[in-house]
Structure 1
Amino acid sequence: MSQKKYQKALGLFGLVSLGLGGTIGSGIFVVPGIAAGIAGPSSLIAWVLVAISASCVMISLAWTASKYPSTGAFYSIFSRVFGKRTSVVLVVLYLISAIFGNATIAAGLGQYFAFFGFQYILLIEIMIIILLSLLNLRTPTRRA
């Protein structure tokens, strides 16, 4: 069998966007309003602490990826570091969090639409999920 040659398709901006999107997640759209309602101005302290901990996660992932360079996604990196079984569990948990992340974004944006007087919130939320799913179907090699 011949070895496939992989070429670098994502640039620095795309990689940073993927990293930030995966680290920040959907909470950035929903949690600020809830946190401000509960904790008031002191919720900013919580955001600083979360930013510090998220930075630690991103730095650890970047260090691991640079120490074990390979073509592939999380599984190829994690399998070298943690072994195959743990890697499968980590990737499945990541996929589950991505599914719930899209649903959380849809629910949060639906609540924002409801606040501004829009009707048919469930329909809007379903359309948001479909839109996010269609955006995820695009391959990362295509340029906008």
Structure 2
Amino acid sequence: MKRNATAVWHGSLKEGFGQLSTQSTTLTNTQYSFKSRFEEGVGTNPEELIAAAHAGCFTMQLSAYISEAGYVIESIETQCEINLVESTIVTSHLTVHAKINAISNDSFQEFVTKASKSCPVSKLLNAAITSTATLI
């Protein structure tokens, strides 16, 4: 499987602007800029997109492990916080809230740890990946 995205940039770093588009067209000429990345501007930024990718990938991997073990998932919600320090992503923290029928907290935590280490985006990131998970 191969997927792609395209970034187009116009101008200097601080005054310039760009657009991001994805193969699926979910993003089509989506605005990004210095302000949307480092201040409070309109648009997205690479770190936000990495957070979305990590949250989505992890959640799918977690659901696979839990389902394979025979549990019924009502919902899993994952928030990912990317921490950028001096031009380096240093952490990716996953906060998970899940409703899963008949699962123990110990089993749930084991699946969370396994998924946080094994989802493809986790494997890609060279950052400390942590998680906090609550079974509801």
Q: Same fold (TM over 0.5)?
A: no
Structure number with greater CO (CA < 8 Å, separation at least 6) is 1
- Give the number of the structure whose residues are more often strand, by fraction: 2
Which structure has the larger Rg over C-alpha atoms?
1
TM-score between both structures, scaled by the size of structure 1: 0.33
Which structure shows the higher helix fraction?
1
